[in-house]
Structure 1
């Protein structure tokens, strides 16, 4: 490709499916993910310099409410990746362009809807997460500014998915670095330089999200030089819109079920006291580290499996699944070893409370095992997203959630918090096992034509 980040990907120029190609896709995603926790730390750190607890709580609760709502639209990233990679594999460039337009339109409509419903959203958020009057007042100031970047924040999901499908992950890295880097610089300027407090943090995020969306559109600029992007008959084609809606709705249900597992894990853990609850929260950060590292290989699986299925190549689909999973598995082995060796030191960095440190060390073996028990579920998620087998993802997640809650009911009275962690691991294994059971159907589908 002469300009890999400025035009629709040429599959012939991408070369054979090799380890090098997998790493070329994966590494920029891993690097872009590394900027996320840095931004969170700076957001907290700058308001922490104000010397009061209320601004810290306000930014925390405001960000959680809005981020949780935006997270629901993560289906747009996953669905766009799967559908676009399949269109690319089928060499249907007009559909690749139409998918970008559909994603941007969904983002615009969803964002404007959130802005119009902001009063109801704020009320619901504080009803679920009550805070003191002062914290709630500051948090509302924060959200009143940041809600106006909702269309941009959701658009970034669609743009990212579209670029990942074409293996243009360097562009994704640039978007994240520009967006998060600008956010950090503006945080420092608005809060510490101009003394805007919580509102300064909100304006920093507002501006950076719009700039991030603009940078993403700039990377897609060549699409707008062709007539395909405004082929409205194709963009609004009923069958294609229906397929996109079905894929995205299934992924949304699957994501909500996954969220229910993580949320209930924290709620069940609260039964064992504040120290154990804090310990569980500390240890879950190990899981976040693992997920950030695995995202690169899972995203590579999404792109390569989707392309293979679009081209109806069983051999390419299997090779994509094997190569990306091999790298994901190797990464998880390395992380398990790292957690075993340096887990105690990582815990000490996260908390200074002696009792939380002690309890966290007691449960650390569960986090050493987590990369190993979870790798199959994470990698198969990527494979199934690329194949847009969203119904299977939804149904297998229903089974896995039921298995998890049954395990909690059985193990919690017997083993306490250890039983909770065991049930958590059982949910990983159930997700991996059920998706593996469905995997042969993907290879069979590669021999059949895809729906129109």
Structure 2
């Protein structure tokens, strides 16, 4: 008994170190994504006309609605790669040598890229067809509609790069190589921010300049990612896969696709409701959503660590490390959420003034400062559980929880507030409904989570 405690402490310390080694590159790389949105907001927010900011806000939401619907490529690739990496660790040296030409870790990257071949033309066609139809639902102002359409049709040409990055990032994360996504996203976002500044302030472009800078940056990141993959043994797509090889990826991904589409549709509805209340409310919500993405991506560092550690432990048929990964990633996520709440409480109003100097917009933002302060704590449970459930392959549970939270919580509360609050307070009701929706996502996953924690052995295979 005397030696058990130190061994356990060593194990906890080792796992904690592993969590931070996985999380900090992801946290930094993820933060660069919404930071870029904040840079775009700051650039356009300092123009005289708020229409350009509104155009990019609407255009970005429609772009996200379409492309993040396919972010299952990232999550599904991470889940399957982590399982393959965990299984690889427990193989003997002889087995590793015999299977060198059939490395399932490498095969997951190939399978993910094969899935892109039919998706790329389909996504581009959907963009050309659906965006002109959806724009009138998102904004009444013709100038905002035209600016958003210009932005979208330029960004659409980045389709191969965006989808390819989803697969590459998922593969690197599943292997535990989280520093590579940090390099890719940092390089991409630096290029993007620099080009956006040049195009807007030196070439007199507006929303179209922001879109063009983003397209160039996306292809830069794709090329760099393929270079890293080649250094790790990737030499091409390999043999065309059959149905049985694709079945595990399709099984987990189709649930994630529906789950992501429901989530992004909710964000689109949120933006549309704000747009109906005028340009200032639309712009204020755009700023707050940009900060929400900053929060989510900071907390996702520990969610991604949970994906890797839970997935690899289940792949290696180990149960106790699963529980330990769940406990420690949850603790770290909660601690980070509290730190973010404190930082926003201390500097939230100053942050608003860094993002815009519009004298009409600032008072509107100040009305919502308390929503900003508490967002990290409200969002933390659902962000963390998403990571745990991706690693354990519970994509069906994630889908069901998302649908239930939207249909049973968000829309009913939005309708109730819209019927009972005055027009001036309608956006406050929209934010309260969003808060409740975020908490409900975690609540609806609670029962399945307890089963996973108590009996990890029941989750050795995807369902």
User: Structure 2 length as normaliser, TM-score?
Assistant: 0.80
Structure 2: state its 5+ residue gaps.
1-11, 90-101
24, 27, 37: which one aligns with 1:27: 24
How far apart in 2 are the matches of 1:67 and 1:350? 21
**How far 1:320 moved relative to its partner?**
1.0
1:109 aligned onto 2:118: yes
**How far 1:433 moved relative to its partner?**
1.8
Deviations 1:247-266 (A, max 9, x none): 11111111122223333344
SS at match of 2:317: coil
Aligned residues: 435
1:369 aligned onto 2:380: no
SS at match of 1:430: helix
146, 153, 165: which one aligns with 1:156: 165
**How far 1:275 moved relative to its partner?**
5.6
Which deviates further from its counterpart, 242-251 or 104-113?
104-113
SS at match of 1:66: helix
SS at match of 1:29: helix
Match of 2:79 in 1: 82
Which deviates further from its counterpart, 279-288 or 336-345?
279-288
Contact 1:36–1:180 (8 Å) recurs in 2: yes
**How far 1:116 moved relative to its partner?**
5.0
Which deviates further from its counterpart, 46-55 or 353-362?
46-55
Match of 1:326 in 2: 331
SS at match of 1:446: helix
Deviations 1:94-148 (A, max 9, x none): 2221110121122343223334555424533545456877776666665554433
Match of 1:423 in 2: 433
Match of 1:252 in 2: 257
Match of 2:384 in 1: 379
Deviations 1:274-325 (A, max 9, x none): 6656554444444223212102111111111111111122111111111111
Deviations 1:133-187 (A, max 9, x none): 7776666665554433211111101100110111211100111122222233444
User: Structure 1 length as normaliser, TM-score?
Assistant: 0.82
Match of 1:98 in 2: 107
SS at match of 1:22: helix
How far apart in 1 are the matches of 2:147 and 2:364? 34
With over 3 angstroms needed to count, the CA separation of the structure-2 counterparts of 1:313 and 1:177, relative to structure 1, is: same
Match of 2:350 in 1: 345
Structure 1: state its 5+ residue gaps.
1-14
Contact 2:392–2:459 (8 Å) recurs in 1: no
How far apart in 1 are the matches of 2:439 and 2:338? 16
With over 3 angstroms needed to count, the CA separation of the structure-2 counterparts of 1:365 and 1:210, relative to structure 1, is: closer
64, 69, 80: which one aligns with 2:66: 69
Match of 1:312 in 2: 317
How far apart in 1 are the matches of 2:199 and 2:276? 41
SS at match of 2:88: coil
Match of 1:10 in 2: none
**How far 1:226 moved relative to its partner?**
7.4
Deviations 1:317-363 (A, max 9, x none): 11111111111100111112222232333334344456654454444
CA-atom RMSD, angstroms?
3.6
How far apart in 2 are the matches of 1:136 and 1:196? 16
How far apart in 2 are the matches of 1:174 and 1:49? 29
Which deviates further from its counterpart, 431-440 or 78-87?
431-440
1:76-225 → structure 2 map (5 Å cutoff) = 76-91=73-88, 94-116=103-125, 119-129=128-138, 143-187=152-196, 201-224=210-233
Match of 1:242 in 2: 247
Contact 1:148–1:206 (8 Å) recurs in 2: yes
Contact 2:303–2:383 (8 Å) recurs in 1: yes
Contact 1:313–1:447 (8 Å) recurs in 2: no
**How far 1:238 moved relative to its partner?**
2.3
Deviations 1:48-90 (A, max 9, x none): 9998888766666555443432221111111111111111112
With over 3 angstroms needed to count, the CA separation of the structure-2 counterparts of 1:350 and 1:409, relative to structure 1, is: same
